[in-house]
Amino acid sequence: MIVIAATKNKGKVREMQEILFPLAIEIISQEEAGIELDVEETGDTFERNALLKARAVAMVCDYPVLADDSGLCVDALGGAPGVHSARYAGEDATNSEKINKLLNELGNNDNRNAKFVTCVAFIMPDGTEIIAKGEVKGHITHAPEGNNGFGYDPIFFSDELGKTFAQSSDEEKNSVSHRGRALRSLYEKLKEM
Ligand code: ITT
């Protein structure tokens, strides 16, 4: 099955491809499909924003569409940056700027518990919508560690892997990540249909 990914984030596209290819789902990014859309993420939940992105792309193509809205929720920051993870340090901020802002906000707080959350929205050409979610728990390191992955990966220490996501291979990250779990849950729902 060929699916259009309703995202402009290249890190997400790569992970979607790696996770879904073994399940016989081929991901093509909206950019590769020639779809130029900038969807404003006005929702206050991951689910609402995933649906906003998926619906916008589904309106202009005849393929199944998959959107991912995700973020990092830090306990001591009341769940921030959460749905605002992409623009936490401003519209055009780099990953380093976002990471530095988060580390500064957290300071030396002993409670460094955090989780990554993903909500995926899948829309079939007949308009059927399927939602699936995934989470992974861990904690925020005191400094960035590792160069793999994207976004906040260098400061997210996965309890299950015993290292940061940026110190992990793609395969290791995908095996426990919020995105891996959400996409495998989506696949199970699709199989049942
Ligand atoms: P699209 O809306 O085009 O999909 P985006 O990057 O704006 O791309 P989100 O609104 O879902 O996507 O923002 C999620 C942000 O959370 C993302 O930009 C990263 O900074 C961070 N994030 C999400 N998943 C991540 C992961 O697996 N590793 C590290 N950071 C992640």
pLDDT tens for the chain, 193 residues long, are 999 999 999 999 999 999 999 999 999 999 999 999 989 999 999 999 999 999 999 999 999 999 999 999 999 999 999 999 999 999 999 999 999 999 999 999 999 999 999 999 999 999 999 999 999 999 999 999 999 999 999 999 999 999 999 999 999 999 999 999 999 999 999 999 8
pTM: 0.97
Q: What is the pLDDT of residues 48-73, one digit of tens each?
A: 999 999 999 999 999 999 999 999 99
Long-range Cβ contacts of 9-18 (<8 Å, 24+ apart)? 9/150, 10/150, 11/149, 11/150, 11/151, 12/68, 12/70, 12/150, 12/179, 14/170, 15/170, 15/173, 15/174, 15/177, 15/179, 15/180, 16/66, 16/68, 16/179, 16/183, 18/170, 18/171, 18/174
Q: What is the pLDDT of residues 160-180, one digit of tens each?
A: 999 999 999 999 999 999 999
- Residue 53 CA: nearest ligand 1 atom is 2
Residue 5 Cα to ligand 1 midpoint, Å, equals 13
Contact (CB, 8 A) for 171 and 121? no
Q: Which residues approach ligand 1 with their CB closer than 6 A?
A: 7-9, 12, 41, 53, 68-72, 85-86, 116, 149-153, 165, 177, 179
Catalytic site residues?
A: 69
Average per-residue pLDDT for the chain: 97
At 191 the pLDDT is 93
